Amino acid sequence: MALGRGARLGLGIFGVAGLLAAGVLALVMAPGGPAGRGDDADVGGAGAASAGAQEGRPVPGFSGRAALLAGGDAEALAGASAEVAPAVEADGEVPAAPASLSDAELATWLDDLAGIGAGFSRFGPVDRARVIATVGTVLDRLAVEPAPARWIETLSPSAEVLTVGLADASPAVRAGAAEVLGRAWDWQPGCSTWPDADRAVASWKNRLHTPMVALLDDPEPGVRLSAVLALGRLPIDAMAQPATALLDDPVPAVRVQLLNSFAHRRDLMTDEAILPLLFDPESAVALAAQIVLRARGLDDDQISLAKLLFHPRAEIRASAIAMVEAREDIDPIVWLLRLSRDEDEAVRSQALDALSRRTSPDARRRLAEMADSDPSESIRDAARRALDELTADLPPLPSSSGTSIRAN
């Protein structure tokens, strides 16, 4: 599904510093270190310049500052970044809303971006992170009216740099690229657009989705956390859904971020998926799960009941069945259906007994399923008997005495 103008929802923007701080927290909590990536690895991409060029030396084929950027010159990068950074106010504060980019500023940036793309792998990890942040800054400014006429020319080279950044050797660079992309899902230029331009923007976003999803398998927990945060801001459910697989991530900070990012997206992260986290060994995760469930309308009494139904001990789950049947403020069928799929045979058996006392179509359908496919032979037999008894209890058909079939 294309991420076009219809996906612009005005989602909040997180700063790079805040994201990386969260990433550092996750990295500290990680059980292990990085796996198979080094900060000095050459990830290529973005049109690498000639192999013989030395870092910081001008590269043939470019002119002015772009030639220095193609050679990995850190001072040239600092100058290029400063020129597109939002102007600082007299009191030293950066304005909350950046000013639009002028035509002249964009023309200079396009030249710089060509050099940056060619020399990206020559920069050190700190400067590569600066490149990613600067690309994000320019996109933010291009979203402010009036956008310069050549705004569309930034899409392809920006996508190339972000794609390389998402696969960078440095975890900080990968996390920074994810943060920028998280802001870009609802990005649109600050001007009226035509259909071809809208398709170009949608194609640009779709191009970046696959490398973004790949970060969910990143060995660094801080990067996975950044990917969850970024995908949580993607307004199209089908494209955001891969992130929900990290609900059982081994690092608590990632699980907490997933709960926070998808708290309002009940179709993607169901209550039933959250309830087991009430027993998470990390108290921060269990608390986050409880907060999300309360925000979704469950009261403390219902959460307490849910804790029984999802308790790690089978005998406690089984003991909750009688409580569910006695409640009038909930639909017992919903809970009984869930317990009828419990991993423990004794729990399923008691749930079957409770379902056999119900006459709803849902209860009968589930009994039929259990009779056909429950892993326990004794439960399959019991389900068949229950169905037979329910059928026997049906009222008889209306009597046909006194009627006859006659031809006209």
- Inter-residue contact 224 to 254 (CB < 8 Å): yes
Instruction: Give, for all 408 residues of the chain, the pLDDT tens digit.
Output: 556 554 443 333 333 334 334 443 444 344 344 333 444 443 333 433 333 344 567 777 788 899 999 999 999 999 999 999 987 666 656 666 788 999 999 999 999 999 999 999 999 999 999 999 999 999 999 999 999 999 999 999 999 999 999 999 999 999 999 999 999 999 999 999 999 999 999 999 999 999 999 999 999 999 999 999 999 999 999 999 999 999 999 999 999 999 999 999 999 999 989 999 999 999 999 999 999 999 999 888 888 888 888 888 999 999 989 988 888 777 888 889 989 999 999 999 999 999 999 888 999 999 999 999 999 999 999 999 999 888 765 555 555 444 444 444
pLDDT of residue 408: 42
**One-letter-per-residue 3-state SS of 121-182:** HHCCHHHHHHHHHHHHHHHHHHCCCCCCCCHHHHHHHHHHHHHHHHCCCCHHHHHHHHHHHH
pLDDT of residue 391: 76
Q: Measured between alpha carbons, how far is 351 from 356 in angstroms, rounded to an integer?
A: 9
Angstrom distances, CA of residue 374 to CA of 1, 205, 224, 355, 378: 38, 45, 37, 15, 9
Q: Measured between alpha carbons, how far is 96 from 140 in angstroms, rounded to an integer?
A: 11
Q: Measured between alpha carbons, how far is 146 from 105 in angstroms, rounded to an integer?
A: 13
CA 103 to chain centre: 35
pLDDT of residue 4: 57
What is residue 313's three-state secondary structure? coil
Nearest to 341 by CA among 331, 352, 328: 352
User: Which domains, and CATH codes, for the chain?
Assistant: 62-235 (1.25.10), 240-298 (1.25.10), 299-393 (1.25.10.10)
Question: H-helix or E-strand containing 108?
Answer: helix 103-119
pLDDT of residue 399: 52
Alpha helices in 215-344 (DSSP H): 221-232, 237-240, 252-261, 271-274, 283-295, 300-309, 314-326, 332-339
